[in-house]
Chains A and B, each alone.
Chain A
Amino acid sequence: MIAHIKKTLAVVGKWVHENQGVFVGFFGCLISAEVYIFPKSADIRLFSGLALYWILSRIGRLSSIRVLQLSLILFSIMSVSFLFSGTGVQTERIAVWFILFLAFGIVTQWRETVS
């Protein structure tokens, strides 16, 4: 069973590593979907999303650049949302996602710098 999980993780990790751009784009779409499908924000989804990204980035050996790219995507969505709806609920939610991933990117880069 453990061997099977390890094998699956290795496959997923390899895919993430080889398709980093696609992975980051996919994650951006996933977050947009969360913002526009669910009417209200929930910490459980926010922190689950962050944890999922952290796990996949670890097994896929992604650098801080990728998470910063993701935050760039989120910032772009936030700006477009601001253009159409001002500081509406969706814009605010995407802004929180942007800040969380920016913070995640800074922490990751700091760890890379120190190590």
Chain B
Amino acid sequence: MKEHILRKLVGRNIHWFIAIVLFAIPFFWLKPGEMDLGGDSGRLYFYDPVSFIRNVSIYHQVPEGLAPADPNTYYLSYVSFIAVLLFIFRSSTIVISIISGAKLSIGFLAVHGIVKTLCNGQKAGKVGELAAIMAGVFYILAPTMIGNYDKALTSHNQVFLNPLMFYLLLKFITKSDPLYLLAGLGISFVFAPNFALTSAPPFFAFYPLAIGYVLLYTKIVLKNKLPWGWMFTGAVLYLGIHAFHLVPQILNLFEPGSFTNTRVFDRSSIAHEGVRYFLAVLPLANVTSRILMVPAISWLWWSGIFAPLVFVIGLMSAKKDKTLLLTAGFYLLTLYLYSAKITDIGVAIYKKLFYIPGFSMFRNLIGQWPSVYTFYFALLLGLSIFAVLRKMKFRLWMIMVSVAVSILWIIGASSFLKGEPVNKFHAQSNNIPMTFAMDPRYEEALMFVRSLPDDGKILTLPLTDAYYQVLSGASGGAYIGTSTISQLTGKKDFNGYQLFGTFSEDFMKYSRENDMSKITELLSTLSIRYIFHNSDPKIYEAGFPQSPYTYMKTSFPKSQTEYMQFISSLEAKQIYQNGPYAIYELDSSVRRPLVYTANASGSIINREPEISIIKSDPVTYHISASGLSEKSGVLVFHDAYNSNWALTINGSPVSRDRHFMIDGYANAWKLLQDDQNGEKRYTMVLRLRSQNRVWFGWSITVLSLVLLGIVMVRRIVYHIL
């Protein structure tokens, strides 16, 4: 009788039913036409993936502000996948919902599959099924997993990728079936941003431990041989497939002075940004709240007791269960990494770890470890439930308790399930929703920006504290995220404090002093030609009295009316107006072009003869200029200095020792009359050499993908036959 009820309760396909329900939930979060974009990653590829690919993910340069040479090529495969989805479904809202649904349903299914696999060695049966379902439900609804759906970083796909890749790795090694490995490699290519250097913290937090767990499980628990041959093949294919972003990024990592190089290797940077940051966040890392996983609803705190209680009871009742012990060991290790405050020695050891190159990526331990901790928490929970249930006589009673606990977790996550993560207001705003629909007038303005000449950068006002742009949506919400002008039009845009580099404080000072001539000079130094002003009060004083303008308001206009006066004080004329969106062009007498010639010291700009520039792509410019009237001069190029920028004059490369930094950030080359080589004009090509790394990486990737395809087809044929 009990077995019959058990079978009814835990049917064969119930996990598929739960997965479908979970997949459907995010489709109720957004209204048709709305999007929840923004944040540090912006996620503008959900809105216009093709422009995003063209402007962000092909070239070895950031299309913003000073335009440093930094590769973002890891986006390409993922954004192409989004483009395909958008082509099929024709709605950004649907595509966003599909990705959110995948996080929930695949995350659940993968954890379910792992627990089931780990229990299967012990003839899991229906009890194993129940334990696996509970572990899966817990994983996706845990308080640590439901918090970052708003303004999600690209690496947030780890919610489902971590357990999915673990599952495939576990199946590959335990069953010695390379198809799982090959499938994992294919998935890793599509979701490449999660395997790129930009996602280094979540990647290195999860994968070394996951590989360690699977290897130990195979060797110690199952006592099976490891498929070394396929593991080596997999590692080689992995590096090959990801060469398109790994090659440029790794070479960039070893380039002295680059942002990543400083972050990883510079000892003073480690001390400043690693240990100090770690010590600043340490008081927030409570051990108790990690053990109990206290839900957001405070009165439900006691539901957190269940899981740790089951851990201990499970360990007590399942003697000689190596799988459970191994999982418990990994749980404790991740608990330590997530909280650090396990004894004073524990904190001291953690501080020492920052001297391992790269470990400073974990300085924000409360942000980097939760998903890994939750993953092992869920596995341990599933295995503990299994250990307890299989020892109990009254299984039905225990099942009822388990279902009741699951319901408590669902209640604890009810606001999440109702869509609160995306349907909330921007912090410190006057109740401005995060979800928005793109304003058609802004879309027209973007079209106009695209048509502007490439020679000149854009200043977007009002200026924000970081590198954000604020946009009011047609439905009343607002977008706060990376520059839509840079990422969707390819025009280099200055919209916030951080994008001005070393000029930020000067700009603020000149504004405070109302010194418009100095401001004009600064804009000229930065080659800013256009000013884009969004005069909508809802995106400034009316909607956002503080963040993201708090710091900038200490120096810049405090209202849109004042901003209009600010612009009128500059020598600029309006060239476009559409609703609140206006574009001004600075007078040619006060602005400097992107590329120009000057006298030998660079102090006097040669207005005559004029030079013409053709931008082939963001990293290649063809320049044509008349000969120098004097014996020598300089060619100035106003993108961030990088030794990889190379100049060729009339077919001959200019030696590196004639390349130097000018204006505190830009590139300049010493020109000699001899360079003319008897010609009347200079014909010059300006090219970023490090772009070759991208093409080299891509050639390896294409080759590896072909190889992966061949191996996969052969394995499938082998399976069928």
Contact = CB atoms under 8 A, between A and B. Distances in A.
Interface of A: 41-43, 46-47, 64-65, 68-69, 71-72, 75, 78-79, 82-83, 87, 91-92, 95-96, 98-100, 102-103, 105-106, 109-110, 112-113
B325 A78 contact: no
B391 to A, nearest CB: 13
A112 B319 contact: yes
A43 B343 contact: yes
A113 B289 contact: no
A85 B120 CA distance: 42
A106 B321 CA distance: 11
Contact of B335 (A41, A47, A99): A99
B315 interface: yes
A30 to B, nearest CB: 18
A72 B345 contact: no
Contact of A106 (B301, B329, B343, B344): B329
B332 A72 contact: no
A43 B345 contact: yes
Nearest to B220: A114
Interface in B326-353: 328-329, 332, 335, 341-345
Given A99-B342, A113-B325, A68 B288 contact: no
B288 A91 contact: yes
Contacts of B313: 72
Given A43-B345, A113-B319, A68 B287 contact: no
Contact of A113 (B308, B320, B329, B342): B320
B707 to A, nearest CB: 42
Contacts of B301: 82-83
A65 B312 CA distance: 10
A82 B304 CA distance: 11
B291 interface: yes
Given A106-B325, A106-B329, A96 B341 contact: yes
A91 B312 CA distance: 18
Contacts of B291: 78, 95, 98-99
B239 interface: no
B332 A106 contact: yes
Contact of A82 (B288, B320, B329, B345): B288
B344 A43 contact: yes
Nearest to A113: B320
B309 interface: yes
A26 B61 CA distance: 66
Nearest to A93: B287
Contacts of A68: 312, 315-316
A112 B321 CA distance: 11
B287 A109 contact: no
Contacts of B335: 99
B14 interface: no
A83 B294 CA distance: 12
Contacts of A112: 319-320
Nearest to B348: A43
Contacts of A87: 286, 288-289
A95 B342 CA distance: 9
20 contacts: A43-B345, A47-B343, A64-B319, A65-B316, A71-B312, A72-B309, A72-B316, A75-B308, A78-B288, A83-B301, A87-B286, A92-B286, A95-B287, A96-B342, A100-B343, A106-B315, A106-B332, A110-B325, A112-B319, A113-B322
Contacts of B308: 75
Contacts of A41: 343-344
B564 interface: no
Contacts of A75: 308-309, 312
Interface of B: 286-289, 291-292, 301-302, 305, 308-309, 311-313, 315-316, 319-322, 325, 328-329, 332, 335, 341-345
A112 B325 CA distance: 11
A64 B334 CA distance: 22
B27 to A, nearest CB: 37
A79 B305 CA distance: 7
Contacts of B343: 41, 43, 46-47, 96, 100
Nearest to B313: A72
Which one of B288, B309, B312 has the highest number of Cβ atoms from chain A below 10 Å of its Cβ? B288
A38 B343 CA distance: 15
Contacts of A105: 315
Nearest to A88: B288
Contacts of A91: 288
B113 to A, nearest CB: 25
A96 B322 CA distance: 24
A32 B292 CA distance: 19
A56 to B, nearest CB: 20
B557 to A, nearest CB: 44
Contacts of A82: 288, 292, 301
Contacts of A100: 342-343
A46 B328 CA distance: 21
In the complex, the 5 A-B pairs of residues with the closest C-beta atoms, listed nearest first: A87-B286, A95-B287, A95-B288, A113-B320, A87-B288
Contacts of B311: 102
A114 B106 CA distance: 36
Nearest to B326: A110
A96 B319 CA distance: 24
Nearest to B301: A82
Contacts of A79: 292, 302, 305
A112 to B, nearest CB: 7
A79 B288 CA distance: 9
Nearest to B316: A68
A103 B315 CA distance: 11
Given A99-B287, A99-B291, A72 B328 contact: no
A79 B335 CA distance: 18
A20 to B, nearest CB: 14
A68 B301 CA distance: 23
B329 A102 contact: no
B341 A92 contact: yes
B287 to A, nearest CB: 4
Contact of A102 (B305, B312, B320): B312
Contacts of A102: 311-312, 328, 332
A99 B337 CA distance: 13
Given A82-B301, A96-B342, A113-B320, A72 B288 contact: no
Nearest to B291: A95
A87 B291 CA distance: 11
Contacts of B328: 102, 106
A110 B321 CA distance: 9
A86 to B, nearest CB: 8
Contacts of B302: 79, 83
Contacts of B286: 87, 92
B376 to A, nearest CB: 13
A64 B321 CA distance: 13
A68 B320 CA distance: 14
Nearest to A73: B312
B484 to A, nearest CB: 41
A50 to B, nearest CB: 10
B293 to A, nearest CB: 12
B115 to A, nearest CB: 19
Contacts of B325: 106, 109-110, 113
Contacts of B316: 65, 68-69, 72
Nearest to A65: B316
Contacts of A69: 316
A68 B384 CA distance: 14
